[in-house]
Structure 1
Amino acid sequence: MENISPTSWVSEPKRSWTEWAVIRMLKVGPIPRHVAFIMDGNRRFARQVHKDTLEGHSKGFEKLTEVLSWCRDLGITEVTVYAFSIENFKRSKAEVDGLLKLSEEKFELLIKEIEKLNNYGIRIRVIGRIELLTQKLQKLIAEAVLTTKNNDKYCLNLALAYTSREEITTASSDILEGCKTGRLLPQDVTEELLEQCLYTEGRRDPDLLIRTSGEVRLSDFLLWQSSLTHLFFHKGTMATNINMARFCSRVSLPASPSFTLTLTSRRHKTTS
């Protein structure tokens, strides 16, 4: 079993011989370079164990650090996590305030671990409407992004105050403004131009998107970027319960480009 520290962004677990053998076998085949996560189910977990909602979110963070260690060991170089949706602002004030406070605490921890992140070559990027967050959180995000910007071995993208519709709307508005001012001509407007105006500009699209808790929807997350992404929805598995075996069983990708949607025990696959 892994000994995961709940107080570190960069967990350094001691793996068994069997775990390393599985990792080595998986790395022989096609492994996704970029995996996106919707780590869902923290509130339901808290209700099941009769704990406060924020404790559920805190446990979700601990599991996230564990998942990130699996990704590094497997050679997955980029991860994007749906950390906080713009829609989350519609929750109760107590929960929103608690989530923002928790985010501040985790970014303060991240700043303390900058040296460790730099040693591992981990770059932090944050996408979304950062100005909607607290001033303190904005400053912490800026420091984390700036102090890791030259790291190029791994990239952790955190979607905060994000929805895909807002991202696409903002990109479209920027293009419209360019046309109005004469900096762009109508024939300049292409898919490539829109992609350059997205928050994820310059990044690889996800090869695999995993959602826990059994919800079968993307919840306005990376809609443009996931058009050719393999999708997997973990039925009945909440974020806090996902384990290495379940994760490893989903990261071996088909050799040919395809779109795969797995619902319970049924699989629908269209090859493009």
Structure 2
Amino acid sequence: MKRWLRQRVDAAYERLLSQEISGAPTHVAVIQDGNRRYARRQGGDAHEGHRAGAETTERVLEWCQDIGVEELTLYTFSTENFERPAEENEALFDLLCEKLHEFADADRVHENEVCIRAIGETEMLPERVQNAVEYAERRTYGYDQFVLNIALAYGGRSRLLEAARGVAESVDAGDLDHEAIDVEDIERRLYDQPVRDVDLIIRPGGEERTSNFLPWHANGNEAAVFFCTPYWPEFSKADFLRGIRTYEHRQESWRRTRARRALALLGAVSEPELAEARSIVDRFRDSLPSSEQPEDDEFEPSDSSGRAAD
């Protein structure tokens, strides 16, 4: 297909997808996969792939802000990536330093009050990268309109392990009652600043796995997951909008499931429980097909014999 025709088709598809989307997830997490494979296919080296991927990252940041996403987390460098060739990692570290300074000084970042944060074992990174992280965090500290988390030297299981150790130490020291341990005790120890639950994980590059990415915030929230085949440097706005559409379909399915469960319980609940079940049905009634819409008399509690109570 000729390039001009391809561009017109893509633009029309983007408009169609935009019309189908009615909302946006609060927190999107992206596994930036396929930079090196893209470079090899183009006949270049890994560094060229990472630089092309950085351009995609800037576009995705704009797309998120355009549709109302409030937090974006980018899986940029995992703890396993340290095992890659040193010359490849050094080139990537130089690119990270360049982009962190560039982002921290960008007018659009300050105009849109973007808070830049790094999550992960950043002390494992070269000093120049740590300095760039500190610069970006300091320059955008206090902004709260949009949060950009950059996962560097990141491993999901290692973060959970460190949090568990922190809880155990607090219990041993007598600062925390083991019977009082709750979700907040874990979350406070995962990251220096709060991270919202993940609503949608996007992974390009053809792999269909989440690679130990934000397990507490994604799995615990039953996040939607969107896999697609383009390598990260090729990731388009249409791909992004398809991911958002996947999230919306997942949310609608969740609403229907909640409503159906509440309806199924109505005939067997006691009076106090009935009020809660009715509240759930009222909230999610519009997500049910018309054939499943309950009648008002279905909200009446039943006695032990199964008859509607007088």
Give the TM-score normalised by the residue count of structure 2.
0.72
- CA distance, structure 2, for counterparts of residue 216 and residue 77 of structure 1: 25
1:237 corresponds, among 221, 224, 230, to 230
- CA distance, structure 2, for counterparts of residue 150 and residue 23 of structure 1: 34
Identity within the alignment, %: 33
- CA distance, structure 2, for counterparts of residue 149 and residue 108 of structure 1: 14
1:174 corresponds, among 152, 158, 166, to 166
- Displacement of 1:196 after TM fit? 2.2
Counterpart in the other structure of 1:208: 200
> Secondary structure at the residue paired with 1:251?
helix
- CA distance, structure 1, for counterparts of residue 211 and residue 18 of structure 2: 34
Alignment of 1:1-272 (within 5 A): 25-26=19-20, 29-113=22-106, 115-199=107-191, 202-227=194-219, 228-234=222-228, 236-252=229-245, 253-254=248-249, 255-256=251-252, 258=254
CA offsets 1:108-143 (integer angstroms, 9 cap, x no match): 222332x43111111111100110111121122112
Amino acid at match of 1:128: G
- Displacement of 1:68 after TM fit? 1.2
- CA distance, structure 1, for counterparts of residue 37 and residue 82 of structure 2: 18
Runs of 4+ in 1 over 4 A off after TM superposition: 16-24
Amino acid at match of 2:34: G
- CA distance, structure 2, for counterparts of residue 203 and residue 22 of structure 1: 32
Q: Evaluate the alpha carbon distance shift between residue 257 and residue 180 of structure 1 in structure 2; reply closer, same or farther with a 3 A threshold.
A: farther
Amino acid at match of 1:244: K
Counterpart in the other structure of 1:264: none
Contact 1:230 1:258 in 2 (8 A): no
The gaps in structure 2 that reach 5 residues or longer are 4-9, 256-310
- CA distance, structure 2, for counterparts of residue 221 and residue 24 of structure 1: 28
Counterpart in the other structure of 1:11: none
- Displacement of 1:199 after TM fit? 1.7
Amino acid at match of 1:246: D
- CA distance, structure 2, for counterparts of residue 200 and residue 230 of structure 1: 25
Give the TM-score normalised by the residue count of structure 1.
0.82
Amino acid at match of 1:38: I
- CA distance, structure 2, for counterparts of residue 202 and residue 111 of structure 1: 21
Question: Max radius of gyration: which structure?
Answer: 2
Q: Evaluate the alpha carbon distance shift between residue 243 and residue 116 of structure 1 in structure 2; reply closer, same or farther with a 3 A threshold.
A: closer
Contact 1:126 1:160 in 2 (8 A): yes
- Displacement of 1:35 after TM fit? 0.7
Amino acid at match of 1:230: A
Contact 1:26 1:74 in 2 (8 A): no
Structure (1 or 2) with the greater helix fraction: 2
- CA distance, structure 1, for counterparts of residue 12 and residue 39 of structure 2: 32
- Aligned length in residues: 242
- Displacement of 1:194 after TM fit? 1.1
- Displacement of 1:31 after TM fit? 1.6
> Secondary structure at the residue paired with 2:30?
strand
- CA distance, structure 2, for counterparts of residue 81 and residue 237 of structure 1: 17
Structure (1 or 2) with the greater strand fraction: 1
- Displacement of 1:24 after TM fit? 6.1
CA offsets 1:46-95 (integer angstroms, 9 cap, x no match): 11010011110110001111111111111111110001001100111111
The gaps in structure 1 that reach 5 residues or longer are 2-15, 260-272
